[in-house]
Structure 1
Amino acid sequence: MKSSPSSHVDHLGSLIRPKLLFDQRVLLEQGKCSRGDLTPIEDAAVAHVVRLQRSLGLATITDGEMRREIFYEGVFDKLDGVTCRLRPMSEFMNYWPHIQAFSAMGLTELTSCFCSGKIRRNKPIMTEEFETLKRLVPRKEVGRLKITMCPPTWFHTLHGTHLTYDKSVYDSDEEYFADVGTVYRAEFKALYALGCRNIQLDEPTFTSFCNDEVLRNIQTAGINPDSLLDLYIHAINLCTRDRPRDLNVAIHLCRGNFAGGLPFTSGSYENIAKKLFLNLDVDTFYLEYDDERSGSFLPLRFVPPTKKVVLGIVTTKHAELENPDFLKARIVEAVQILVNGAPPRAPEVALAQLSISPQCGFASSWKGNPVTEQDVRAKIGLLHQVALDVWGASEQVAQMARL
């Protein structure tokens, strides 16, 4: 059945905090209020951004990450066996560009997690957030709700094999990730039982494997980057294993979206495309393609016809709007790559695989990018305009892709 153009307009999840919540967060940082003082303001902010997303006609609806300080909160800090504390920068893997950037900023320590006991899920992780979302939408829209989560790899990427977990607790990465996978599968199952059909893992380190300088730095540290990437693909596959067929698990491959939209790495997906698209057991890939840092669409030739791809062709890093004709031409280019991929496919099939979105969230950390809510509306409006011209005229676009 032919899909509507609006169903091909998506977003990554995080949204600009409303002023009242932003101002309260400032007070929290200044020690002028308690964490509990934020709760009613966060509740109101979630309700506001749900109304916003519904009015914008987005394919998925999130809580905007209104309750988080930064994107990766809310998973590992809720698990048994995990201790959160300030850790010196010497305990972070300095081959990653974001760790190098934090050190260059003069930071000497960061709050992070350490696995001090067997990892167990003895309380829900994201189910309360999902139930809140359910109460804010009509029943027929529950299928649009999406939960965004820290990836299972996150703290291991930060600290490596020797500093992620107590060696008296786990003998190896395989043992550690086996328990992490059990936790994620249990949470996926609980979310699914409540009606959740969309889960997104935000992964900011896979794109560093696209950067040749980072690969050299990993090798200098005595680590095989190919083996490390394989380990992280395996870790995610443990989490997604045996999921229901109608549970859409997505991965967002982020290139950095720190305070003010600061990016951290660049490089074509070519380095990781074959392993990523063929070996990673997810249903949808959110890819960043908002500027020249991302390279060409050529790596998409490895995407199987069964996978969905969301092209992040509009930036969240500034308010300036992209040229709609340029965006439409880019979509046609991506369709042509898929048509000639392995295996080849009809242009109509390729076009159905694709959606478009901003390249990242508008506020991966609570202070957000230098855009306003009105800018967010304009960016999503632009995507809808482009989607109507592309998917609303799919036969003509398919013909263009054949040329």
Structure 2
Amino acid sequence: MRIIMTSKHTLPPFRTDVVGSYLRPAYLHQARSQFAKGEISADNLQTVENKAITELIEKQKAAGLKVITDGEFRRSWWHLDFMWGLNGVEKADLSHGYVFDGIETRPETARLTAKIGGKNHPFLEHFRFLLPFADAGIVPRLTIPAPAQFFKELYRPENKAATESIYPTQAELIQDLTRAYQTFIAELYAAGCRNLQLDDCTWGMMVDARYNNAGVADRSLLKEEPCDCHSTTHTVISDNVQSLAELLLAINNAAIEGAPDDLILTTHVCRGNYRSTWAASGGYQPVASVLFGRENVSAYYLEFDTERAGDFSPLAEVSGDKKVVLGLVSSKTGELEDKQAVIDRIKEATQYIPLDRLCLSTQCGFASTEEGNALTEQQQWAKIALVKEIAEEVWK
């Protein structure tokens, strides 16, 4: 198990932290629309993106953040753009998008056309642009979808046939998928990255009784078979949450196996974040022993802004000296939380995990997709200022 620990908060996660995505400025929305219509070139769009990201970085520094991201400004989705950048993957349209509370997303997905590979991913250039802005004490962070998230995308009902035509068994698929992530991580590290965040909705969906094991594949068409993921043999699939949790854990851990010790790997667990709506409900308890106890990351960014995420008791399962970033401030609404109420909830969480291993952030990013959540940029920065103010008071 590779776990990075530090007694001082000079490394992420920080007491005041963020999940990573930010609201796009109006001029960036306009440029992306013009590019989609063929009115400007890719180079023109990149120039606008560079300007917007540069301005965003300055705002992050001015807000007192110790971590900077590019806000995911070059992406349309928090996850699909990364998948599209892998070898053997194409952008595809569907008849229906992801279903959220009262709304449906754009109907897009990532579909296989060939064997999966991870070489020369376009996100490497995204990070290289960010790196020079890392002043002393500032950590540049890249966010990507977790391997488990990609795995489940490939078994959406509309993608299953394409996936199985290239990978007749899940064992073959998992082997190439995890190797592709290992390749990407190695090349990203060589580019200078030391903080990689794996965003993962699979756990948040599993705890919702409406989903549980849904989304992997049509169970009647799947066979139970052994899968040897780096010497860990497990059942590929069966009809209960525990088996799926074990499978996704094995995929995530295999994909980050062998990563350099000084690459800080964390994960963010979400229940959906699209235009201020959500997709799933349920506390962490059904998956806590697997996710918190055995995933080989050094910290968890966890949604805790509403009752949909349950109580703090599952945090007792967080193993070793791993840290937890409490997402107690909503990125979905513009209304500021009551400061004392947030402080009280942090105190409540210390019943299960020591205060020294806790940090604070918004519950998710402000724009998991380019549409963004239903609040203003001013409200976005007010939320971050509140997180900072609370963190400074709680941790002095």
TM-score band w.r.t. shorter chain: 0.7 to 0.9
For the residues of structure 1 that align with 2:93 and 2:375, how far apart are their CA atoms?
A: 31
Match of 2:143 in 1: 148
For the residues of structure 2 that align with 1:157 and 1:208, how far apart are their CA atoms?
A: 11
Please give the per-residue CA displacement for 1:323-356, whole angstroms capped at 9, x wherever unaligned. 1111111111111212xxxxxxxxxxx2221110
For the residues of structure 2 that align with 1:257 and 1:114, how far apart are their CA atoms?
A: 22
Q: 1:244 to 1:151 in 2, by over 3 A?
A: same
The answer (yes or no) to whether the contact 1:8–1:59 under 8 Å persists in 2 is no
The answer (yes or no) to whether the contact 2:100–2:272 under 8 Å persists in 1 is no
Structure number with the higher helix fraction is 1
For the residues of structure 2 that align with 1:106 and 1:10, how far apart are their CA atoms?
A: 29
Match of 2:389 among 380, 385, 399: 385
Please say if 1:363 is aligned against 2:363: no
Partner-residue secondary structure (3-state), 2:166: coil
The answer (yes or no) to whether the contact 2:119–2:183 under 8 Å persists in 1 is no
* RMSD over equivalenced CA pairs, Å: 2.6
1:100 Cα deviation from its structure 2 partner? 4.0
Note the 1:66-145 alignment, pairs <5 A. Answer: 66-89=73-96, 99-101=98-100, 110-138=107-135, 140-141=136-137, 144-145=139-140
Match of 2:30 in 1: 23
Match of 1:63 in 2: 70
The answer (yes or no) to whether the contact 2:75–2:370 under 8 Å persists in 1 is yes
Match of 2:4 in 1: none
| TM-score for the superposition, normalised by structure 1 | 0.84
For the residues of structure 1 that align with 2:103 and 2:278, how far apart are their CA atoms?
A: 14
For the residues of structure 2 that align with 1:191 and 1:158, how far apart are their CA atoms?
A: 23
- Which blocks of at least 5 consecutive residues in structure 2 are unaligned? 1-6, 221-237
1:121 Cα deviation from its structure 2 partner? 2.5
Q: 1:281 to 1:29 in 2, by over 3 A?
A: same
Partner-residue secondary structure (3-state), 2:108: strand
1:159 Cα deviation from its structure 2 partner? 4.4
Q: 1:319 to 1:226 in 2, by over 3 A?
A: same
The answer (yes or no) to whether the contact 1:115–1:164 under 8 Å persists in 2 is no
Residue range with higher mean Cα deviation, 314-323 or 56-65 = 56-65
1:205 Cα deviation from its structure 2 partner? 2.4
User: One-letter code of the match for 1:19?
Assistant: A
- Which blocks of at least 5 consecutive residues in structure 1 are unaligned? 90-97, 339-349, 393-403
For the residues of structure 2 that align with 1:49 and 1:111, how far apart are their CA atoms?
A: 27
Identity of aligned residues (%): 32
Note the 1:332-343 alignment, pairs <5 A. Answer: 332-338=347-353
Partner-residue secondary structure (3-state), 1:8: coil
Note the 1:198-213 alignment, pairs <5 A. Answer: 198-213=195-210
Match of 1:342 in 2: none
